[in-house]
Structure 1
Amino acid sequence: MTFDLVIRNAALPDGRTGLDIAVRAGKIAEIAPALGPGAQEIDAGGQLVTPPFVDAHFHIDATLSLGTDGHYNESGTLAEGIALWRRISPGLTAENYRARALRYCDMAVSKGVLAIRSHVDITSPDLLAAEVIAEVRREVSPYLDLQLVAFPQMGFHSRPDMADSVRRVLDMGFEVVGGIPHLEPTAELGRSSITALCEIAAERGAMVDMHCDENDDPNSRMIETLVYETKRLGLQGRVTGSHLTSMHSMDNFYANRLIGMMADAGLHVMANPPANLHLQARFDSYPKRRGLARVPELRAAGCVVGFAQDSVLDPWYPLGHGDLLDVAWIAAHACHMTDRAGLRACFDAVTRDPAHIMGLDGGDLTPGAPADLVLLDAADPIDAIRTRATRTHVIRRGKVICETAPPAPRLSLDGRPTTPARH
């Protein structure tokens, strides 16, 4: 029987080579050498075929808004970013939200990103951003999984009826309850916001993803309360702590105890190396802290850790273009994960691991999984990170939705080859 699509002579992330990947009815049917014919065939030529890239921490409502009304974050601080968003967001229209979100989705898909978890600001009582992004999700669903987080950007206690807004956006189909406890007016209110939001998630069967301790203060320990509520409410495996940058400043004894507690509660972690390297330690002189979660230690304890873009061209981050191989490359340096095992883990942290955090099928290449695949101009995951390899084909449910030719530089140097070596 003819397959719908066969990718010939592929290398897989686990090191296997010379394999064909056959697709039927939008799913991977077989992975083996020398499979039968396909209605469409792609010769991978020994190149790497992987599951798609997954960005499990993003802000699609704010993306591409940098410079709105001529405003920029000149200090590079988180506080100025929040102040800028508070200033510009009331003037954003439904069409503005929609156009920017769709432009970013196109950009992300071209980089092989086929799933995004986006936090959406629900501070405004009209919930305009939530309504628009919910519609965007329906528009992009044929080619991109967009999972949405009800995120009270300015704090759960910024409005007395915020719990009602959280429930309303869950009714719109949002799957995740978010929060930002370290931004609440007091530590006590921060902890109470975690309790209230986790109780809503337990009541609705939703997942939880909290911006937690995104600062340089070693005494910012909201993650303790998130761990406690995860266990108290039976939310193990459904809760993510995002950022956790204060962990970089904690003493080693306490950090070790905390990491053990997190692993015991089945807590996931999303680190955002580019954005947090940019935002954190802005008040340091020298030495300057990196301001990241303790990624190798968290992984060693058994927590699932993903890396994410967080922001692109918005009040918090002036760079980025949706390329998670850039994120993995930066993380490898910032987290001292440049040994071979560490680099391989960095690749998993932008593919398989965030897919697990989002509860998606298809984080691994196995028969029966959705045929969401990316062909990269690289021999293996480490080579892909090193070169930030071109995504030559992006495939969604067995259909090629993006093709990109690798760059082909041509040298004109006396006595030298016309094409530079890849390595």
Structure 2
Amino acid sequence: MLIRNVTLPDGRTGLDVLVQAGRFAAIAPRLPAPEGVTVIEAEGQLLSPPFVDAHFHMDATLSYGLPRVNASGTLLEGIALWGELKPQLTQEALVERALQYCDWAVAKGLLAIRSHVDVCDDRLLAVEALLHVREKVKPYLDLQLVAFPQDGVLRSPTALANLKRALDMGVDVVGGIPHFERTMADGAQSVKILCELAAERGLRVDMHCDESDDPLSRHIETLAFHTQRLGLHGRVTGSHLTSMHSMDNYYVSKLLPLMREAGVHAIANPLINITLQGRHDTYPKRRGMTRVPELMAAGINVGFGHDCVMDPWYSLGSADMLEVAAMGLHVAQMTSQAQMRACFDAVTVNSAKILGLADHGIELGKPADFVLLQSRDPIEAIRLRATRLMVVRRGEVIARTPPAAASLALPGRPAQVDWRLRRAGAQPPSLE
């Protein structure tokens, strides 16, 4: 196919993109159309790399209300609810819900997801189910799995053995939850054990780290230390990091350089962090999300995750990473032009880097994976939660959505509404 007159997220406009043999074959203005190619007129709209969700829980998704609804809305009740649900899980139901969510994801242009999968159930039902799903969706969606000891790798008696079994079965990444261990010392010890396991196996690490309002929950410092000690630079991620929201500025001024030197990635989950954190506050009430602009300014790669969709922790969501970007933008007050574009990067290129997706991006020779959005730039895409007009994987269209439009019946006004802002030089409305 040849897509004419696109805008790219880096601001280049008026480009044509030629796709041949499933790859980007040419990117330049006014390309000639080879014989037999399908020509698509983009009319200046945004051609983006696919969205990437750096942090999700697919084993729990779409289970909202099972076995009951989280009445308090807290993190701890969600964990307790998940514990109640685990004995009732079946592989068939897990697979069905996960595949339905993957359908939603594809329709929203979300073609890569890192999902944590609980390994504290000795049956490893969820692990087996998501390994099956990973293989099933492989032609159209990159699903990366994290062995996640939800109940604590030291706190749960069989968790470490189960985690190793899950890795032996083909799970991709070593997970952890140090702040949920019985003591701070156990939390630090769990980080050491898990980082050494990852180094031994040549794997990446992604830990739920300091998902707490407690400013003394500082396991990210330990994670950065062991990353440096073991030479795991660029392979380790700290997810959530919500305690950083409550830390004093002096300590953070020490912490950020440690993370940067170790090459530790950071993931914020805007929708869930601001829903679950600050629950013990009256007013003023903390937002809870980690210090995204400060992390970015320090040279740390920051991605955004959706975390939850309709599960024991969160009752909403639709696999829309633009909704995640919009919430992150608002909560972190990232309203400059550069910062808003950085929020778009947090759900595309930054998160792709966290997952190690070397083929992600609109560049010559790379696989032709992209989304055509009904917007003219990344900021407008976030503002409008832009319609995904076309989702393409390896040069094949795998999803389409009609353009968003509304009809008006107002005297003297246009017949249709286009929520994109009228550009300079466009025909002004008549004053007659």
> TM bucket by the smaller chain?
over 0.9
Task: Provide the rounded CA distance (Å) in 1 between the counterparts of 2:26 and 2:39.
Answer: 14
1:108 pairs with 105, 109, 126, which one?
105
1:9 pairs with 5, 8, 13, which one?
5
Query: Which residue in the other structure is 1:35 paired with?
Result: 31
Alignment of 1:37-76 (within 5 A): 37-38=33-34, 39-69=37-67, 71-76=68-73
Counterpart contact for 1:216–1:281, Cα < 8 Å? yes
Gaps of 5+ in 2: 422-432
Task: Provide the rounded CA distance (Å) in 1 between the counterparts of 2:354 and 2:223.
Answer: 16
Counterpart contact for 2:86–2:121, Cα < 8 Å? no
| 1:31-52 CA-partner distances (Å, limit 9, x unpaired) | 0112232522221111000100
Shift of 1:26: 1.5
1:280 paired with 2:257, answer no
Task: Provide the rounded CA distance (Å) in 2 between the counterparts of 1:211 and 1:259.
Answer: 18
| 1:11-60 CA-partner distances (Å, limit 9, x unpaired) | 11111111111112211111011223252222111100010000010000
1:311 paired with 2:303, answer no
Task: Provide the rounded CA distance (Å) in 1 between the counterparts of 2:370 and 2:39.
Answer: 14
Shift of 1:162: 2.6
Shift of 1:406: 1.5
1:299 pairs with 296, 300, 313, which one?
296
Task: Provide the rounded CA distance (Å) in 2 between the counterparts of 1:317 and 1:125.
Answer: 26
Task: Provide the rounded CA distance (Å) in 1 between the counterparts of 2:190 and 2:226.
Answer: 11
Letter in 1 for 2:85: I
Secondary structure, in 3 states, of the residue corresponding to 2:52? strand
| 1:173-231 CA-partner distances (Å, limit 9, x unpaired) | 21110000100111111111111111110111000000000010000111111111101
Task: Provide the rounded CA distance (Å) in 2 between the counterparts of 1:344 and 1:145.
Answer: 24
Secondary structure, in 3 states, of the residue corresponding to 1:20? strand
Letter in 1 for 2:122: P
Q: Number of residue pairs matched? A: 418
Query: Which residue in the other structure is 1:189 paired with?
Result: 186
Calculate the aligned-residue CA RMSD, in Å: 1.0
Task: Provide the rounded CA distance (Å) in 1 between the counterparts of 2:199 and 2:99.
Answer: 32
1:209 paired with 2:201, answer no
Shift of 1:159: 3.3
Query: Which residue in the other structure is 2:425 paired with?
Result: none
1:173 paired with 2:140, answer no
Letter in 1 for 2:5: N
Counterpart contact for 1:149–1:177, Cα < 8 Å? yes
Task: Provide the rounded CA distance (Å) in 1 between the counterparts of 2:305 and 2:93.
Answer: 24
Shift of 1:89: 1.5
Task: Provide the rounded CA distance (Å) in 1 between the counterparts of 2:283 and 2:105.
Answer: 36
Task: Provide the rounded CA distance (Å) in 2 between the counterparts of 1:172 and 1:18.
Answer: 47
| 1:329-377 CA-partner distances (Å, limit 9, x unpaired) | 1111100111100000000000000001100023331101111000000
Task: Provide the rounded CA distance (Å) in 1 between the counterparts of 2:23 and 2:56.
Answer: 27
Counterpart contact for 1:353–1:363, Cα < 8 Å? no
Counterpart contact for 2:278–2:287, Cα < 8 Å? yes
Shift of 1:86: 0.5
Query: Which residue in the other structure is 1:405 paired with?
Result: 402
Letter in 2 for 1:34: R
Counterpart contact for 1:102–1:136, Cα < 8 Å? yes
Letter in 2 for 1:287: P
Counterpart contact for 2:154–2:160, Cα < 8 Å? no
Letter in 2 for 1:104: Y
Shift of 1:384: 0.4
Counterpart contact for 1:209–1:240, Cα < 8 Å? yes
2:127 pairs with 127, 130, 141, which one?
130
State the percentage of identical aligned residues.
Answer: 59
TM-score scaled by length of structure 1 = 0.97
Task: Provide the rounded CA distance (Å) in 2 between the counterparts of 1:364 and 1:138.
Answer: 23
Task: Provide the rounded CA distance (Å) in 2 between the counterparts of 1:219 and 1:395.
Answer: 45
1:22 paired with 2:9, answer no
Counterpart contact for 1:361–1:370, Cα < 8 Å? no
Task: Provide the rounded CA distance (Å) in 2 between the counterparts of 1:394 and 1:109.
Answer: 7
Query: Which residue in the other structure is 1:240 paired with?
Result: 237
Shift of 1:421: 4.2
Letter in 1 for 2:332: C
